Amino acid sequence: MKRWPGSGRRSSLIVLALAASCTGGSADDGVAGGQLLCDGSAGARLTFLVEGGQVDEAYAFHGVYGHAAFAIDGQCRYWVAESPLVGLRTGTLGAEMAADIAGKLHWASLAALSAHRDVQSCPDAGESLIGDGAHVINCSCGCDDQLPAATKEAFANVDGVYRSLMAMGGAYDGPIRAVTVRDDASGLPAGRILDWSLALSPTELQLVSPSFQRDSGKLIEAASDRTELRKLRTMALPLQTGAGFFARTSDGSTFHVYARDEAPAHVVAGLAVH
C-alpha cells in the first residue's frame, strides 16, 4: 500500500520552481550539459507543485499555487506559497544554497527521470510535481516502488527545501487579486467576521460568473487597498480554517473574501508545466 511520506503533515505541500548556481561538478549539482540552473534567464528553471485532491469550490481561483508552492528562476529569485491566507514569500538564493537545492531535487536529471511516471494513486489524493520548465516528475500519495531512486529522493527532500524557503523569504508586496461572494455568515461566531477596511467596496469584487475562475474578481490597484487587504488576511489566519475569510461592511452586509497574491507571469507559467 502506498503511503504519503511523513503522514500527519498536510497531504498537500509545495508547489513551484527552484533554481541553482554553481561553477562545475557532477550532473546533479546544478550543472547540466555545461548549463547553470541560475543562468541569468527570467524563466522558471525548476518547478514543484502539489495540487488537486479534495478541494473547495473556490480552488480554481486560489489554487493557482496548488496547496503550497515555491519557484526559483534563472536569476535565483524565488517565490514560495502556502495557504492563501499566508500569501507569497520571496527572496534570492545564494549560489551555494541554490546548487545544494538543485542537487537535492536532482534538477539536472529531471529530463531523464521524467520518462518514469507514477501511476498509482489514493482516492482523492493530490499530485506532487517537480519540473525544470520542460520536463516533470510526479508522485501521488507517495511514490510508486518502481520509480527511480533519484525520483524518490527528490520527493523525500522537497519538503525540507520548501520549509527552508518559507523561513528565509520575506513577505511579498506585489499585486494581489480578490474575489468576494455575498454570504450572510449567520452560523459563524461574531469573532470570525472581520470589519471591511478597504476604500474599495467588496461589491466591486463580487463573483459574477456561475463558478470561480482563475481571473475572478479584480486585481487590487491602489497601494492602500492592497495593504489593508493583506492586514485583513493576516488577522483572519488564526480565525479561519479554509482559504478565505469573512468580512462585514458598515451597512451590515457580509462577504466571503478570497485573496491571492499575483506572482510574476513567468512563475505562474512555470507552475502550469505538467
DSSP character at residue 7: B
Q: Is 67 among the domain residues?
A: yes
154 with 25, same domain: the answer is: yes
In a shared domain, residues 20 and 39:
yes
Please indicate, yes or no, if residue 1 is contained in any of the structural domains.
no
Residue 113 lies in a domain: yes
Whether residue 245 sits in one domain with residue 196: yes
What average pLDDT score do residues 103-116 get? Answer: 93
pLDDT band for 48, please (50, 70, 90 cuts).
confident
Please report where in the chains the cell 491566507 appears, as a residue: 85
Banded pLDDT at 112 (limits 50, 70, 90): very high
Q: By the 8 A CB rule, do 198 and 225 touch? A: yes
Task: Give the three-state DSSP class for 180.
Answer: strand
Same domain? 127 vs 154: yes
State pLDDT tens for residues 79-90. 999 888 999 999
Same-domain pairing of 161 and 241: no
53 lies in some domain: yes
Residue 126 inside a domain? The answer is: yes
Residues 154 and 24 in one domain: yes
Check whether residue 72 and residue 109 sit in a common domain.
yes
Domain for residue 68, yes or no? yes
Residue 98 lies in a domain: yes
Q: With H, G, I as helix, E, B as strand and everything else as coil, classify residue 101.
A: helix
Same-domain pairing of 26 and 117: yes
| Percentage of the chain lying above the pLDDT 90 cut | 63
Give CA angle at 152 (163, 47), nearest 5°: 55
* Contact in structure between 52 and 127 (CB atoms under 8 Å): yes
Assess whether 159 and 107 both reside in one domain: yes
Residues 61 and 141 in one domain: yes
CA atoms of 202 and 256, how far apart (whole Å): 9
Which pLDDT band, with edges at 50, 70 and 90, does 121 fall under? confident
Pair 161, 183 in one domain: no
**What is the domain range of residue 119?**
15-171+264-271
Considering its fold, how many domains does the chain have in total? 2
Q: pTM of the entire structure?
A: 0.83
Could you report the per-residue pLDDT of 201-247, keeping only the tens digit for each? Answer: 999 999 999 999 999 999 998 999 999 999 999 999 998 778 999 99
Amino acid identity of residue 116, one-letter, is H
72 and 198 in a single domain? The answer is: no
